[in-house]
Amino acid sequence: MSLPNTDELIENFSFFDDWEDRYSYLIDLGEQLPPMDDALKVDLNFVKGCTSKVWMVGHFNYANQLELIADSDAKIVRGLIAVLVCIYSGKTKAEINDTNIKDIFAQLGLEAHLSPNRRNGFYAMVGRVEALAQS
Protein backbone atom coordinates (compact mmCIF):
# COMPACT_ATOMS: atom_id res chain seq x y z
CA MET A 1 0.00 0.00 0.00
CA SER A 2 1.39 3.40 -0.91
CA LEU A 3 0.93 6.59 1.05
CA PRO A 4 -1.89 8.87 -0.11
CA ASN A 5 -1.40 12.30 -1.67
CA THR A 6 -2.52 15.42 0.20
CA ASP A 7 -6.11 15.41 -1.10
CA GLU A 8 -6.53 11.70 -0.37
CA LEU A 9 -5.03 12.21 3.09
CA ILE A 10 -7.53 14.98 3.91
CA GLU A 11 -10.38 12.85 2.56
CA ASN A 12 -9.26 9.79 4.53
CA PHE A 13 -9.07 11.77 7.77
CA SER A 14 -12.55 13.19 7.12
CA PHE A 15 -14.03 9.68 7.32
CA PHE A 16 -13.18 9.42 11.01
CA ASP A 17 -15.62 10.86 13.54
CA ASP A 18 -13.48 10.57 16.64
CA TRP A 19 -9.89 11.13 17.62
CA GLU A 20 -9.23 7.48 18.47
CA ASP A 21 -9.88 6.48 14.84
CA ARG A 22 -7.70 9.33 13.53
CA TYR A 23 -4.98 8.36 15.97
CA SER A 24 -5.09 4.74 14.77
CA TYR A 25 -4.97 5.87 11.14
CA LEU A 26 -2.02 8.14 11.90
CA ILE A 27 -0.12 5.21 13.44
CA ASP A 28 -1.02 3.03 10.43
CA LEU A 29 0.43 5.70 8.12
CA GLY A 30 3.65 5.71 10.13
CA GLU A 31 3.94 1.94 9.79
CA GLN A 32 3.90 2.35 6.00
CA LEU A 33 7.07 4.46 5.98
CA PRO A 34 10.07 2.72 4.50
CA PRO A 35 12.78 1.99 7.04
CA MET A 36 15.55 4.56 7.44
CA ASP A 37 19.09 3.24 7.33
CA ASP A 38 20.70 3.51 10.77
CA ALA A 39 23.73 5.14 9.12
CA LEU A 40 21.51 8.19 8.43
CA LYS A 41 20.52 8.52 12.09
CA VAL A 42 23.30 10.95 12.93
CA ASP A 43 23.38 14.39 14.56
CA LEU A 44 23.41 16.17 11.19
CA ASN A 45 20.01 14.65 10.36
CA PHE A 46 18.53 15.02 13.85
CA VAL A 47 15.54 17.39 14.03
CA LYS A 48 15.80 19.70 17.00
CA GLY A 49 12.57 20.84 18.64
CA CYS A 50 10.93 17.43 18.79
CA THR A 51 10.31 15.70 22.11
CA SER A 52 10.84 12.33 20.45
CA LYS A 53 13.92 11.46 18.46
CA VAL A 54 13.45 12.39 14.79
CA TRP A 55 15.89 12.13 11.92
CA MET A 56 15.14 13.59 8.50
CA VAL A 57 16.99 13.61 5.21
CA GLY A 58 15.76 15.12 2.00
CA HIS A 59 17.10 15.90 -1.41
CA PHE A 60 15.74 16.99 -4.75
CA ASN A 61 15.95 14.37 -7.49
CA TYR A 62 16.68 14.82 -11.20
CA ALA A 63 13.13 16.13 -11.73
CA ASN A 64 13.64 18.70 -8.93
CA GLN A 65 11.13 16.87 -6.72
CA LEU A 66 11.70 16.33 -3.03
CA GLU A 67 12.55 12.85 -1.82
CA LEU A 68 12.11 12.73 1.93
CA ILE A 69 13.33 10.01 4.29
CA ALA A 70 12.65 10.26 8.00
CA ASP A 71 12.17 8.17 11.11
CA SER A 72 11.31 8.51 14.79
CA ASP A 73 11.42 6.39 17.89
CA ALA A 74 7.73 7.16 18.59
CA LYS A 75 4.78 5.66 16.70
CA ILE A 76 2.64 8.80 16.69
CA VAL A 77 5.59 10.86 15.44
CA ARG A 78 6.25 8.34 12.67
CA GLY A 79 2.62 8.97 11.70
CA LEU A 80 3.24 12.71 11.62
CA ILE A 81 6.32 12.08 9.49
CA ALA A 82 4.13 10.06 7.12
CA VAL A 83 1.75 13.03 6.91
CA LEU A 84 4.67 15.23 5.89
CA VAL A 85 5.82 12.67 3.34
CA CYS A 86 2.29 12.61 1.88
CA ILE A 87 2.21 16.39 1.67
CA TYR A 88 5.75 17.22 0.53
CA SER A 89 7.32 14.24 -1.25
CA GLY A 90 7.38 14.62 -5.00
CA LYS A 91 6.93 18.40 -4.78
CA THR A 92 9.21 21.02 -6.28
CA LYS A 93 10.71 23.82 -4.19
CA ALA A 94 8.07 26.23 -5.51
CA GLU A 95 5.25 23.80 -4.65
CA ILE A 96 6.66 23.36 -1.14
CA ASN A 97 6.86 27.12 -0.68
CA ASP A 98 3.23 27.46 -1.85
CA THR A 99 1.94 24.77 0.55
CA ASN A 100 -0.23 26.12 3.36
CA ILE A 101 0.72 23.51 5.92
CA LYS A 102 -1.29 25.11 8.75
CA ASP A 103 -4.45 24.90 6.65
CA ILE A 104 -3.80 21.25 5.76
CA PHE A 105 -3.01 20.44 9.41
CA ALA A 106 -6.33 22.01 10.44
CA GLN A 107 -8.24 20.12 7.72
CA LEU A 108 -6.77 16.88 9.04
CA GLY A 109 -8.23 17.68 12.45
CA LEU A 110 -4.91 17.20 14.20
CA GLU A 111 -4.47 20.70 15.62
CA ALA A 112 -6.89 20.22 18.51
CA HIS A 113 -5.79 16.70 19.42
CA LEU A 114 -2.02 16.82 19.63
CA SER A 115 -0.18 18.04 22.68
CA PRO A 116 1.68 21.35 22.35
CA ASN A 117 4.97 19.41 22.36
CA ARG A 118 3.83 17.19 19.46
CA ARG A 119 2.59 20.25 17.52
CA ASN A 120 5.91 22.01 18.10
CA GLY A 121 7.74 18.90 16.92
CA PHE A 122 5.55 18.69 13.83
CA TYR A 123 6.34 22.30 12.94
CA ALA A 124 10.05 21.70 13.64
CA MET A 125 9.90 18.96 10.98
CA VAL A 126 8.02 21.35 8.66
CA GLY A 127 10.81 23.87 9.25
CA ARG A 128 13.36 21.30 8.16
CA VAL A 129 11.44 20.64 4.92
CA GLU A 130 11.03 24.36 4.27
CA ALA A 131 14.76 24.88 4.83
CA LEU A 132 15.45 22.19 2.22
CA ALA A 133 13.22 24.09 -0.22
CA GLN A 134 15.20 27.29 0.42
CA SER A 135 18.59 25.68 -0.19
Q: Give a yes or no: residue 1 inside a domain.
A: no
Residue 1 scores a pLDDT above 60: no
Strands (E), the chain: 54-60, 66-72
Q: What is the pLDDT of residue 114?
A: 82
Domain that holds residue 84: 6-134
Q: Using only C-alpha atoms, what is the Rg of the chain?
A: 14
Residue 97 contacts residue 133 (beta carbons within 8 Å) = yes
Alpha-carbon span 42 to 10, nearest angstrom: 32
Q: Which of 26, 50, 81, 87 is catalytic?
A: 50
Can you give the pTM of this predicted structure?
0.92
Confidence of residue 90 (pLDDT cuts 50, 70, 90): very high
Q: Cα–Cα distance between 132 and 127 in angstroms, integer?
A: 9
User: What is the per-residue pLDDT for 17?
Assistant: 84
The number of domains in the chain is: 1
pLDDT per residue as tens digits for the range 8-50: 999 999 998 888 898 899 999 999 999 999 999 999 999 998 7
Of 122, 78, 86, the C-alpha closest to 102 is 122
Check if 86 is active-site.
Answer: no
User: What CATH number has the domain bearing residue 68?
Assistant: 3.90.1010.10
